A and B are shown apart, each in its own frame.
Chain A
Amino acid sequence: MAHRITIKAGGSEKDYWRDLWMNRQLLWILSKRDISVRYKQTLLGIAWSVIRPMMTMLIMAVVFSLIAKLPPDPGIPYPLMILGSLTIWTFFSGSFSQISNSIVLNSNLVSKVYFPRLLMPLSAVSVGFIDFLISLGLFMGLSIYYGQVPSINIIFLPIFVVLTFLCSLGFGLFFAVINVRFRDIGQLIPFIVQIGMYICPIAYSTRLVLEDHPTFYKFYIMNPVVGIIDGFKWCLLGNNSYFDPTSLYSTIFVSSIALFLSVMYFRKKENTFVDHI
């Protein structure tokens, strides 16, 4: 097999995407590594992936529904609404922080072996995706418990999952690159995720924002994650769940620009990772 490469200053070669494709097995193996290492030497193992969303959901339901007495969307049990948004939010925030840390966490590989560096952030999503599937299963269980029939809207679910992935990649890649140079990012990420919990419709419905603060609403839906979460809940809970399709404009617009810019930035910087790591 003729395999010709040219190495020169400032830039990976043009066959980058082909190279990435040829290394898809490595992507798979790195993902498998992250998944199988996840719960090594734990007593409860994979059960943690069930316990975490359940506990978070219960606490939020108690605080926001019982204590703060926020109303859910009509006809939807509050716990179910929260679990729905938590499922997709956890996937987003988990992927985002894993991607941001992916290069630094794999620094031993970066300094010793070559492969398209984009594989590391891509494989970082795997763990979050498994958690997402488990959480989704939990949601299904809970909706059976509440006697909710899944809506036909569920056929659009994959679209929102892909959007979540692209959006987290768009932001995560950018931070992954900066993280190599400035480890502050490692400190910043949990903080961003924490703020995200409040500015996204997780513990409450977007409907409340529209009804109580109509002027603020149009700024609120500029947050690209709002459209994703509401859309995701709409797929699972049907038309009763509040979903403003116009909030997707921002999701698509912001995510695609972020993705485009951060992939460019990543590719520009990836060959210098080793000098800063």
Chain B
Amino acid sequence: MQVISAENISKKYIINHQGIRKSATLRDVVSETVNGLFSKKKQEFIPREQQKEEFWALKDVSFTINQGDRIGIVGHNGAGKSTLLKILSRITDPSTGEVSINGRVASLLEVGTGFHPELTGRENIFLNGAILGMDKGEIKKSFDAIVDFAGVEKFLDTPVKRYSSGMYVRLGFAIAAHLEPEIMIIDEVLAVGDAEFQKKCLGKMRDVSESGRTLLFVSHNLTAIQALCNKSFYFEKGRLLDQGDTTHIINTYLSRVSHKKLERSWETPESAPGNDQIRVKSFRLLPDYVDNLTHIDVRTPMQVQFEFWNMVEDAQLNLSLHLYSYTGECIFNVGTSSQPYGKGIMVGTLEIPGHFLNDGSYMISIMVVKDTSSVIYNMEEALTFDIEDYRENVTWYGKWPGYIRPQLNFSLCQTESVVND
């Protein structure tokens, strides 16, 4: 059964270039009008259309969502994801187009919407619940569960302004999690809270999705989207560029967003970077993609290739390669053995196995070393690449800690059983 169908919805905003602020004062409007009337500098008159620029936050978006679908929405910042959620939650009207929704909608665009700092936790549960569309009976019924989920029993009668930000967020999410709408709309709320709480939230969202309710979920946590959503939408610049199976969409998204430099090559030694001893021919990162993906994830084995023109006769050469995290910590440094080579084209190859590096962004720098001691050429940031997360059979989607994520033999077994008579 179709629960949401959107036809050609667009949302237009007007951007003023005259410095008229969003909430312009009457004085501004009046004085501008008066200035306009009396201004003699006619040649400086700018037509109104040019002062105002239209900005389409969403443009001709159409889709249908069936009952029980769990839709992940991905895209860059400003791609129109939040605008879409605002339209579906009826907070703002589309400029054109029409959406029909069949079912009760609860939208969670912010945690703790309408919390009043002066009111106690208890009072805020009723306030926020009512704002999110629960009736008093429903709130009473799930009151204990909410308090338990948020873990704020002791502070129920404390004004929320004295809550730590963590408690505030937990309480906010706990209330929303106990809504029982047919359609649930969630905007990036998992960006807050500690890892343990995020886990709880995602677990709750999984329950929601498994109970056959419809879920729309915007997040930059692709691991969570992958785990929770069966379908996804990809937005770019206000348009719905692609929709379909989540794995496919995430692949599309990642291949468009990552700032990778996987290959750099030069035709001739003259145009190539280097010096009179070394000229770079190419840097290459050759991933051996798994599952027909087009992005690198933690499973993907890779080969780093470095070709260069050696212009030194009888040189004792070796390569040294550093791998850095994006924050600049060196994760490892490896070197080849030092051997004498003649003039010609040299190729260095390094294998980086799959299941070795953790997800994240990395850069590689390469040095050519002569006589094991003098660096004759050093290329910083020769290659940059991203490794995406991939997990199987886990219900935890927080950031996996550590720089590396090796698969080691690690086992657990029971050596003795306690039998209760």
Which residue numbers of A lie inside 8 Å of B, CB to CB? 1-11, 25-26, 29-30, 33, 36-37, 40-41, 108-115, 180-184, 271-272, 274-277
Contacts and interface: CB of A to CB of B under 8 A. Distances in A.
A184 B116 contact: no
B32 to A, nearest CB: 13
A37 B116 contact: yes
A111 B82 CA distance: 12
A8 B88 CA distance: 10
Given A4-B100, A29-B130, A274 B92 contact: yes
Given A1-B104, A182-B23, 17 more contacts: A6-B98, A7-B93, A8-B94, A9-B96, A25-B130, A25-B136, A36-B119, A36-B123, A109-B113, A109-B131, A113-B114, A113-B132, A114-B91, A115-B133, A180-B23, A271-B92, A272-B92
B274 to A, nearest CB: 56
B127 A8 contact: no
A11 B99 CA distance: 13
Interface in B7-59: 13, 22-27, 29
A9 B97 contact: yes
A18 to B, nearest CB: 14
A41 B118 CA distance: 9
Nearest to B136: A25
B135 interface: yes
Interface in B105-124: 107, 109-110, 113-114, 116, 118-119, 123
B95 interface: yes
Contacts, number: 112
B152 interface: no
A23 B89 CA distance: 16
B114 A7 contact: no
Nearest to A109: B114
B113 A108 contact: yes
A6 B99 CA distance: 6
B156 to A, nearest CB: 15
Interface residues of B, number: 46
A69 to B, nearest CB: 42
A10 B95 CA distance: 7
B131 A276 contact: no
B86 interface: yes
Q: Which of B96, B98, B130 has the most CB of A within 10 A?
A: B130
B151 interface: no
A8 B131 contact: no
Contacts of B109: 112-113
B195 interface: no
B367 interface: no
A8 B23 contact: no
The 3 closest A-B pairs by CB, nearest first: A114-B90, A8-B98, A40-B118
A111 B187 CA distance: 13
A26 B182 CA distance: 20
A216 to B, nearest CB: 31
A271 B29 CA distance: 23
Contacts of B94: 7-9
28 contacts: A1-B104, A3-B102, A3-B104, A5-B90, A7-B90, A7-B93, A9-B93, A9-B94, A10-B93, A33-B123, A40-B118, A109-B114, A112-B113, A113-B91, A113-B107, A113-B109, A113-B114, A114-B89, A114-B90, A114-B107, A180-B23, A181-B23, A182-B29, A184-B26, A271-B92, A274-B86, A274-B91, A276-B22
A131 B93 CA distance: 37
Contact of A2 (B96, B100, B102): B102
B87 interface: yes
B65 interface: no
Given A41-B118, A113-B107, A272 B93 contact: yes
Given A25-B130, A26-B131, A29-B126, A37 B118 contact: yes
A4 B101 contact: yes
A276 to B, nearest CB: 6
Nearest to A13: B90
Q: Which of A7, A108, A274 has the most CB of B within 10 A?
A: A7
Contacts of A109: 113-114, 131
Contacts of B93: 7-11, 271-272
B208 to A, nearest CB: 18
B44 to A, nearest CB: 27
A189 to B, nearest CB: 14
